[in-house]
Structure 1
Amino acid sequence: MDVRLLGTAGPLGWPAEGCGCASCGRLRAADAGRAPTALLVDGAFRLGEGRVPAGYQVRPLPGTPSAHDVTGPDGARMLCAAPGPLPGSALDWVARAGAAYDLAFLDLVAAPEQLGELRRLGAVGPATTVVAVHVDHRAPSPHELDRRLSFWGAGLVPDGTVVSSADPPVPRPSAPYRVLVLGGARSGKSEEAERRLAGEPTVTYVAAGGAGAGRPDDPEWRARIAAHRARRPSGWRTVETTDLAAVVRETGDPLLVDGLGTWLAAVLDECGAWDTDAPAQATPSQAEAQVRRRVEELVAAWRATRRYVVAVTDEVGSGVVPETRSGRRFRDELGGLNQRLAAESEEATLVVAGRVLPLPPPWP
């Protein structure tokens, strides 16, 4: 089955006529506009329009009649979703349909997590070619969208491209693969980490401060935790632990660790190592030795892991010098940990005001 993408944008196109947003402005400046999504199947018919030729089976999905399941004369299967996420009734239908699709055209700007769900259901398999459609100014730019799609094993193609069921799928990161995401408070670092794993069928989310982390009696804190949980796809599993090294050493599905600052604070607390009143010692105390051991265990586990791991951490190098000894201790410990994990990572990125700055690797 060969599918020509006559257009790949959302219903209003990209840029949208009369829209003054920065995303649309970037496309106008680059003269890189996209027409609304339209698919020409095998040069024989436009999907969703007119008569379907003999030999093809086209079925609208429940709850979203503008999304279609298509089977060609050669037995190739294609899924084309409507704008927005697939509703639960459509996902249930797709799960019952059987084998994985050869081609999947999805709105991954609106709902990247639907790709992970389709993989979990078996509708998208290792050989499925996934292409983003209905793209528009919900994404900052085609370049940024293409960066995100690379995490999910999906592609962004120009209008007019022919995509074939014989095309190889877009690769996605394979384990072992380690990513360190750094950023300040409210920088968007957690969202970036979650976004990276949105296309995975299952993910283990590690709340690294343990079950009692944070301020459970604070309504604002509880609201922040609830917001984090609401962003996670339903197929994600949550583990609350401070034994982070043990989790990283295990084999299994991808890990999202959020975050190393909370973990370090919990470790300092568990080891009784804050020591705010005592003067600095020339030799490590018993508590400090315990902290060193925990840090070394984590670094060794990170280096040896066979998993795909994304860890969120606080960038502490740009702030003011803390007034307290405990604050300076935390800053120094976390800064050192960040350096060591970054050195053992395939990728390290810094998030500033929601914008992602890939850090260059320590090699040519």
Structure 2
Amino acid sequence: MIRVLGTGAADGWPNPFCACASCESARAARTIRAQTCALAGTFLLDCGPETARTAERAGVALHGVRHVLLTHDHPDHTAPAFLLYRSWVAGDAPLDVVGPPSVIASARQWLAPDTHVVFHEARPGDELTFTDGTVRVLEAAHDGDAVLYDLSTEDTRLLYATDTGPLPEATMAATTDAAYDVVLLEQTFGDFTSHGTAHLDLTTFTEQVRRLRDVGAIVASTDLIAVHLSHHNPPAAELARRLATIGARMVDDGTPLGRGPVRTLCIGGARSGKSREAERLLAAEPDVTYVATSYPRSDDPEWVERVRLHQSQRPAQWTTVESLDLVGLLAHDGGPLLIDCLTLWLTRIMDRHDGWSDEAWADGGEAAVLAEVTALVEAWRATSRRVVAVTNEIGQGLVPQRASLRRFRDEMGRLNAAIAAASDEVRLVVAGRVSLL
């Protein structure tokens, strides 16, 4: 198991001396973020001055730690006094301490020369193999002697990427096709993009996510966590929403990590912004297949213009497929799918089985539509692909006068409910505002 013990920047979040809106919001919610560190089995990644107490507050004992991986010698990431405190109770229990030369030189001063601790000077490109895991040392874009870590244990592969600015090309090459289970990627400065430091903000964070997806380091099943958070970010609720649009999330200190969302349903009324929200969710993905379920040709100029505008707004690297075979697409492995939309899909399925006719509906049409809807829901539930679907909420208006339209409204409501029940998350979009259900 991986547990994120701390998620804050050097001064934590809130900064204890700050009264900005972001800090005051964190205080009101009683959400206190300590300096970033993580525990992965017997591996402790970074150990700052608050790490030990952060672990205690999370109910996590550190006596099982056998390897400490330190990224650099800034005091929020390396507080070597922990070696002294551990020596008072641990006896001869072995411990590996890994870090850049400056970190090791600082840490050695806390222990006698005949210590049971084994120090390992780490440089980018090094690989260290221990009984319970393999550590690959990666280059960081940060001031001074700093590294990042690629850690593989028996059941998890983790990228620990804090502190760093835009990732160096050597690091991108080293993470190619890694398909990490978990990525802890720093995002320090939020919308403050003129900070001029070797850190990431929301703009550069999004670009790093895209690059990591492009080389196969982040895949559909990767749990992407933003860490090293500071009060330069918007308040937590808004930051969580912004991160979610690129497939990342924030967690509280002490959170054990699991798999991120695979299936997302975006639902809303006409012109609510639901398609835009769906596109934001996959904006950092390099190989999205956009599945258009609308009629491919039309003599209606207004409809043709709508389709043209939709197409022009999609990223150039996305592939567009016009298809009703959602079951087949969901069943195959591959990159993320964006399905827009289920309402048009059901419209065409109703056309296929003459579901607008009362006679045809009673004479097998209802059963045929139900079979196709059931197959879609099962494929949605079983898919391993990252998939986002857009659908319309049409049940909140007037009751249609025609029986066929009332039938469609009811079938649409049933389809939406079934897909929502099989989704990892549902996003309701109203007047451009998004709520997680």
Query: How many Å apart are 1:314 and its aligned residue?
Result: 1.3
Structure-1 residue corresponding to 2:326 = 244
Query: How many Å apart are 1:142 and its aligned residue?
Result: 4.9
1:138-157 superposed matches below 5 A: 139-142=234-237, 145=240, 152=247, 155-156=250-251
Query: CA deviation digits over 1:62-115, x for unaligned, max 9?
Result: xxx77996268x9x98644667xx4xxx56453234676997533374444632
- Structure 1 residue 312 corresponds to structure 2 residue 390: yes
- Structure 1 residue 133 corresponds to structure 2 residue 133: no
Query: How many Å apart are 1:319 and its aligned residue?
Result: 1.8
Q: Are the equivalent residues in 1 in contact too, given 2:355–2:361 (CA < 8 A)?
A: no
Q: Are the equivalent residues in 2 in contact too, given 1:302–1:341 (CA < 8 A)?
A: yes
Structure-2 residue corresponding to 1:341 = 419
Structure-2 residue corresponding to 1:171 = 258
Residues 264-273 or 213-222, more deviating: 213-222
- Structure 1 residue 106 corresponds to structure 2 residue 186: yes
Query: How many Å apart are 1:334 and its aligned residue?
Result: 1.0
Query: How many Å apart are 1:45 and its aligned residue?
Result: 2.0
Structure-1 residue corresponding to 2:362 = 284
Residues 179-188 or 196-205, more deviating: 196-205
Query: CA deviation digits over 1:108-134, x for unaligned, max 9?
Result: 744446325314425568999854335
AA paired with 2:326?
A: L
Structure 1 segments unaligned to the other structure (5+ residues): 162-167, 359-364
AA paired with 1:117?
A: R
- Structure 1 residue 222 corresponds to structure 2 residue 304: no
Structure-2 residue corresponding to 1:8 = 9
Residues 249-258 or 187-196, more deviating: 187-196
AA paired with 2:259?
A: R
Whole-angstrom distance in 2 between the partners of 1:349 and 1:223? 23
Q: Closer, same or farther in 2 for the Cα pair 1:57/1:265, shift >3 Å?
A: same
Q: CA RMSD in A?
A: 5.4
Whole-angstrom distance in 1 between the partners of 2:434 and 2:237? 14
Structure 1 SS opposite 2:320: strand
1:1-364 superposed matches below 5 A: 7-8=8-9, 26-27=25-26, 29-30=28-29, 42=70, 45-46=73-74, 53=102, 55=121, 57=123, 61=141, 70=147, 79-80=161-162, 86=166, 90=167, 92-97=169-174, 104-107=184-187, 109-110=202-203, 111-112=205-206, 114-123=208-217, 130-134=225-229, 139-142=234-237, 145=240, 152=247, 155-156=250-251, 170-173=257-260, 178-194=263-279, 202-209=287-294, 211-212=296-297, 218-219=304-305, 221-227=307-313, 229-230=314-315, 234=317, 236-271=318-353, 273-274=355-356, 280-281=358-359, 284=362, 291-323=369-401, 327-353=405-431, 354-358=433-437
Structure 2 SS opposite 1:322: coil
Whole-angstrom distance in 1 between the partners of 2:7 and 2:367? 64
Q: Closer, same or farther in 2 for the Cα pair 1:333/1:94, shift >3 Å?
A: same
Q: Percent identity at matched positions?
A: 35
Structure 2 SS opposite 1:46: coil
Query: How many Å apart are 1:351 and its aligned residue?
Result: 3.5
Q: Closer, same or farther in 2 for the Cα pair 1:32/1:237, shift >3 Å?
A: same
Tell me the TM-score normalized by structure 2.
Answer: 0.53
Question: Greater relative contact order (Cα 8 A, min sep 6): structure 1 or 2?
Answer: 1
Structure 2 SS opposite 1:284: helix
Q: Closer, same or farther in 2 for the Cα pair 1:144/1:183, shift >3 Å?
A: farther
**Which structure has the larger Rg?**
2
Query: How many Å apart are 1:335 and its aligned residue?
Result: 1.2
Structure 2 segments unaligned to the other structure (5+ residues): 37-45, 49-68, 76-99, 106-120, 125-138, 152-157, 188-200
